[in-house]
Structure 1
Amino acid sequence: MRLVSARLVLLAAVLLTASACAQAIPGKPVAGEAVTKGTVDPGFIRGTDGGPIDQLAATAVTDIDSFWQEAFPATFDRKWEPIEGGIYSVDTSDSSAKPPPCTEKASDVEGNAFYCPSADAIAWDRAALLPVLKDRFGDAAVVIVLAHEMGHAVQNRMGITPEAERREPQRFPTILTEAMADCFAGAFTKWVNDGKSEHLDIGSDTLDSALGALITFRDPVGTSANDRSAHGNAFDRVSAFQDGYQQGTEFCAAMTTDNRVFTQQAFISADDRDRGGNLPFDEMLENVTPDLNLYYKTLVEQAGKKWTDPKSTPTEEEPDCSGDQGPVAYCPAEKSVEFEVKADLPELHAEIGDYATGLLLASRYGMAAMAAVGADLDGESAATSALCLAGAYTREVFTRQKGFGLSPGDLDEAVQVLLAYDYAARDASGSASLGPGFKRVEVFRGGVFEGVEACGLA
């Protein structure tokens, strides 16, 4: 978070199409289960060692191709043309390995997977990318990355070629083409989830691990959406994937810089950049609490009800005033918000960032607003409304012109905490919560994009 004196602007921009799409950054392991119902012989892959990683990749590529044999004609009214230039597996630990198209040496592929438009080929690092993704995030991560790269092949068949991008960079910025590829990957994942894939089975319980892998490829915090190599922040990438999952390939294909809004932004002050966009824990609490009171006071009074600031109560242990809500809790009887300041909450703040703290507080203050208007505080519906209200508050601080506002990276921190924890989506008794993380992010996005109208605040 930051204190701002200039307008924060929602940046409309682009999503991804660079050669090297996968440049992983450190993240918390959340490995999921295996997703294969049966494997495919990787003999068609050039450079394969026939091992388990290439078996998984071959299985993914085979079913992704099957998906596009159906989806491409339905979307574009033209026959799907399979990859012509080959599928390449590269052992980047072997200095004698042959380089794939679009590279000069095998080491150029290190840590990457990419689509080469000039050769109509897909390549990946068998040594330092796919096995790392599998170990950290499960089989689904490998599948999603390859589905993304096939999405770039789809774009090439749509006419979104490197030549077109150079000729019309404002029409086809990298951030847009990357978003479109993420969207196509989401549409494919829904097809698998619907049981239409011959060899793959990605259930709802494995989507969180897939998204965990996707956000490791986000741009460094503070990258401008106008950067020619920008691929998107975690929030924008997850949004594109979820849009594809929910809306399908026609929606993805229709993405343009006119209809796609991106939240990625550069730092606007040296101080914010030097802090990495994060306020110290105590300073965050000092600033966010009055801001939340003012925001929810306005909402409640607009609903014709009276708002009284909840008592703000720090505790040394996890609050237990109203069941298990996690390190931040709304206590209906006391009309207070309690937050633990010795262990879990400051640890989340340090591990993920200051908006992990902000989001949890925003959802519990959302509960206080629900209580003020007489809404039910128990059950999954209540948990959903509280999380949505946290999204609506996030929308407010992201777009306001002055005062307390979001820094680059804050929306990514929200995605991370929602995928890993259900604290922001528990009811006031702590007995009901919204899951999985994929669903929590979806509800939060609803509040961010649609505002309080999406949240059912009576």
Structure 2
Amino acid sequence: MRWGDLRESENIEDRRGSGGGGFRMGGAGGIGIGGLIIVGLLSWATGLDPRLILGGLEMVQGGGQSRQVEGTDGTPKDEIGKFVAAILGSTEDVWGDIFKQNGQTYQQPRLVLYSGATQTACGMGQSAMGPFYCPPDRRVYLDTSFFREMEQRFNSPGDFASAYVIAHEVGHHVQNLLGILPRVSQERERSSPVEANQLSVRLELQADCFAGVWAARSKKSLEPGDIEEALNAATAIGDDRLQRQSQGRVVPDSFTHGSSAQRVRWFKTGFDAGQVRACNTFAAQQL
């Protein structure tokens, strides 16, 4: 991905401290989807709520107490920080245009870079949760260490795979602005565990679809193989694949994010259509 050509967002709060990470970007090494698979495997092996993986409902309940945490505002100077700022800037431009075309104003989220753990309006955020979105403070939280983990431990590099993950989390912010997140949260509270999981799956697949819409409107920055990287990432973090790897069996009723095939299908749906209206997973009879 030619991310160096993208506008870098300043809506970033860097809580990582000095040093800035020291990750490699681009070239043959690239970056990948990181701790997402690690967290998924740990989730199913230890019983940790799998909704803590990759955004959305992991923080929808929110409302925890938070305190002011010192950080540096603005575009980071290190390469991984500049990459994140470029992808965030691209999502701001794309969603800003989409909202404007519909007579609305897009309210840009902030993205917090942190290491290990950090305070959020949803309670304590930890790297074991993977990247996540917190609706109460409208922030995406990202521990950049998952980029290195994915490349080194799972041999799955690719800057666009990481861009897809960021775009997915921004997709949850779009859902929040549209009122989808709070409505789903309320409905889940009135539902059985199985029904709540099904709602979670539809929410997550819609965020995948929104990521596809962003990718479709960012084609000028794409390079050969980028979409394949995103599809590989979507496949790697499907509930069925994570369950099979960690516990040797698949339990569809416990899915919260969708199968590999479903995640790939909805990202491709958004990419092929390039339109938000194609992403109504809640009306789809078959996911």
When normalised by structure 1's length, the TM-score is 0.42
Aligned: 1:114 with 2:82: no
Following TM superposition, by how much is the alpha carbon of 1:38 offset from its aligned partner in structure 2, in angstroms?
A: 5.4
Q: Secondary structure at the match of 1:182?
A: helix
Distance of 2:108 and 2:235 partners within structure 1: 28
- Counterpart of 2:5 in structure 1 is 37
Q: Distance in 2 between matches of 1:154 and 1:114?
A: 14
Change (3 A) 1:223 1:72: farther
Equivalent position to 1:69, from 91, 96, 100: 96
Q: Deviations over 1:25-69 (max 9, x none)?
A: xxxxxxxx6643357376832315342222111110111111100
Structure with the bigger percentage of helix: 2
Cα distance in 2 for residues equivalent to 1:78 and 1:233: 33
Bigger CA radius of gyration: 1
The counterpart of 1:215, out of the listed 235, 249, 253, is: 235
Contact 1:46–1:89, Cα closer than 8 Å, also in 2: yes
Ranges in structure 2 where 5+ consecutive residues have no aligned partner? 21-75
- Give the 5 Å matches for 1:56-205: 56-74=83-101, 76-83=102-109, 86-92=110-116, 98-104=118-124, 108-110=126-128, 112-127=130-145, 129-133=146-150, 136-162=156-182, 164-167=184-187, 169=191, 173-193=199-219, 195=220, 201-205=221-225
Report whether the alignment pairs 1:247 with 2:273.
Answer: yes
Matches within 5 A, 1:303-382: none
1:252 is displaced (CA, Å) by 3.8
Q: C-alpha distance in 2, partners of 1:260/1:202?
A: 32
> 1:42–1:55: 8 Å Cα contact kept in structure 2?
no
The residue identity in structure 2 corresponding to 1:90 is Y
**SS of residue paired to 1:241:** helix
**Cα deviation code 1:214-249 (max 9, x no counterpart):** 22211124544443x521111100000000001123
* Residue identity matched to 2:174: V
Q: 1:141 to 1:203 in 2, by over 3 A?
A: same
**How far apart are the structure 2 equivalents of 1:143 and 1:120?**
19
SS of the equivalent of 2:123 reads coil
CA contact (8 A) 1:137 1:213 kept: no
1:234: which partner in 2? 260
Indicate if the aligned counterparts of 2:270 and 2:279 stay in contact, CA closer than 8 A: no
Gaps of 5+ in 1: 1-32, 196-200, 263-458
Cα 1:39–1:161, aligned 2, differ >3 Å: closer, same or farther? closer
Assess, with a 3 A threshold, how the Cα gap between structure 1 residues 141 and 132 changes in structure 2: closer, same or farther.
farther
Q: 2:226 aligns with which of 176, 195, 206?
A: 206
Matched AA of 1:37 = D
Contact 2:210 2:276 in 1 (8 A): no
User: In structure 2, what residue type is equivalent to 1:234?
Assistant: S
CA-based RMSD of the aligned residues comes to 2.7
Counterpart Cα distance in 2 of 1:41 and 1:248: 23
Q: CA deviation at 1:141?
A: 1.3
Q: Which amino acid aligns with 1:152?
A: H
Matched, 1:55 2:73: no
Task: Render the CA deviation track for 1:423-443: whole Å, top value 9, x for unaligned.
Answer: xxxxxxxxxxxxxxxxxxxxx
| Runs of 4+, deviation exceeding 6 Å | none
Q: Which of the pair has the greater relative contact order for Cα pairs under 8 Å at 6+ separation?
A: 2
Q: 1:162 to 1:87 in 2, by over 3 A?
A: same
- The 2-side partners of 1:43 and 1:70 are apart by 18
CA distance in 1, matches of 2:229, 2:10: 24
Structure 2 CA distance for aligned equivalents of residues 210 and 134 of structure 1: 14
Once residues 56 and 102 of structure 1 are traced to their aligned partners in structure 2, the CA distance between those partners, rounded to angstroms, is 26
1:259 aligns with 2:277: no
Distance in 2, matches of 1:56 and 1:124, equals: 13
Question: Is contact 2:2-2:223 (8 Å) kept?
Answer: no
Q: 1:42 to 1:148 in 2, by over 3 A?
A: same
C-alpha spacing 1:112/1:188, structure 2 compared with 1 (3 Å)? same
